[in-house]
Structure 1
Amino acid sequence: MIKKTYQVTIDAPVDHVFKTMLDKQTYKQWTALFNPSSDFEGSWEKGEKIYFIGINEQGEKEGMVAEIAEHIPNKYISIRHKGILDQGKEVLEGPAVEGWAGALENYTFEEISGGTTVTVDVDTNEEYIDYFDDAWPKALQKLKELCETRS
Structure 2
Amino acid sequence: MKKMQFKTDINAPVANVFSIMLDKETFRQWTAVFNPESDFETPSSVEGNWHKGSKILFIGASKTGKREGMVGWIRENIPNKFVSIEYTGIVDGDDEITTGPVAEEWQGFENYSFAEKNGTTTVTVDIDVNDEMVDYFAVTYPKALEKLKEICEA
Name the TM-score, length of structure 1 as normaliser. Answer: 0.94
Unaligned runs of 5+ in 1: none
Is 1:141 matched with 2:146? Answer: yes
Residues 46-61 of structure 1: matches in 2 within 5 Å?
46-61=52-67
Q: What's 1:124 paired with? A: 129
Unaligned runs of 5+ in 2: 43-48
Letter in 1 for 2:51: E
Letter in 2 for 1:8: T
Question: How far does residue 2 in structure 1 lie from its aligned partner after superposition?
Answer: 1.5
Name the TM-score, length of structure 2 as normaliser. Answer: 0.92
Seq. identity, %:
55
Q: Is the 8 A contact 1:60 1:88 kept in 2?
A: no
Deviations 1:65-103 (A, max 9, x none): 0100100000000000011111111111122112232x0
- SS of equivalent residue, structure 2 residue 40: strand
Q: Is the 8 A contact 2:89 2:103 kept in 1?
A: yes
Backbone CA RMSD of aligned residues:
1.0
Q: Is the 8 A contact 2:77 2:83 kept in 1?
A: yes
Letter in 2 for 1:93: T
Q: What's 1:80 paired with? A: 86
Structure 2: distance between partners of 1:112 and 1:129: 31
Is 1:68 matched with 2:71? Answer: no
Structure 1: distance between partners of 2:114 and 2:34: 21
Structure 1: distance between partners of 2:77 and 2:52: 5
How many residue pairs match? The answer is 148
Structure 1: distance between partners of 2:25 and 2:130: 30
Q: What's 1:89 paired with? A: 95
Structure 2: distance between partners of 1:9 and 1:98: 33
Deviations 1:93-132 (A, max 9, x none): 122112232x000000001111100000001132111100
Is 1:13 matched with 2:7? Answer: no
Structure 2: distance between partners of 1:125 and 1:115: 31
Structure 1: distance between partners of 2:3 and 2:22: 22
Is 1:100 matched with 2:106? Answer: yes
Q: Is the 8 A contact 2:90 2:106 kept in 1?
A: no
